[in-house]
């Protein structure tokens, strides 16, 4: 459907279930089939990123990208880059363990 449908609770639940990162991808800004859906998603995910940072998590664990359905190579590269980033920072919660030391 639309990135605007992604509730921050969905993202939090993914992290609670052990996901090391969450990628929210949607239509490029200004090209949303639902007019403003991606702008709503952008605002929600920016706010959630701030909450994650305040809680001590690396906000980079939540990545938001605006990609056209015709940009398959960009989508694949985005996923590869995100996986590389998550591998480099370690599993979810590892940043909290380091802060406790």
Whether 21 and 62 have beta carbons less than 8 Å apart is answered as: yes
Cα distance between residue 67 and residue 71, in whole Å: 6
pTM for the full model? 0.88
- Of all residues in the chain, the percent with pLDDT exceeding 90 is 77
Residue numbers of the chain with a pLDDT score lower than 70: 98-101
Domains of the chain: which residue ranges? 3-100
- Dihedral, CA atoms, 83, 88, 89, 91, nearest 10 degrees? 60
- Residues across the chain: 101
């Amino acid at each position: 459907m639309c990135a605007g449908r992604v509730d921050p609770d969905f993202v939090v639940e993914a992290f609670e279930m052990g996901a090391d990162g969450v990628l929210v991808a949607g239509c490029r800004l200004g090209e949303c089939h639902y007019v403003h859906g991606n702008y709503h998603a952008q605002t929600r995910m920016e706010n959630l990123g701030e909450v994650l940072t305040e809680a001590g998590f690396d906000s980079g664990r939540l990545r938001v990208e605006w990609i056209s359905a015709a940009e398959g190579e960009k989508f694949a590269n985005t996923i590869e880059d995100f996986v590389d980033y998550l591998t480099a920072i370690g599993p979810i919660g590892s940043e909290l363990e380091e802060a406790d030391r």
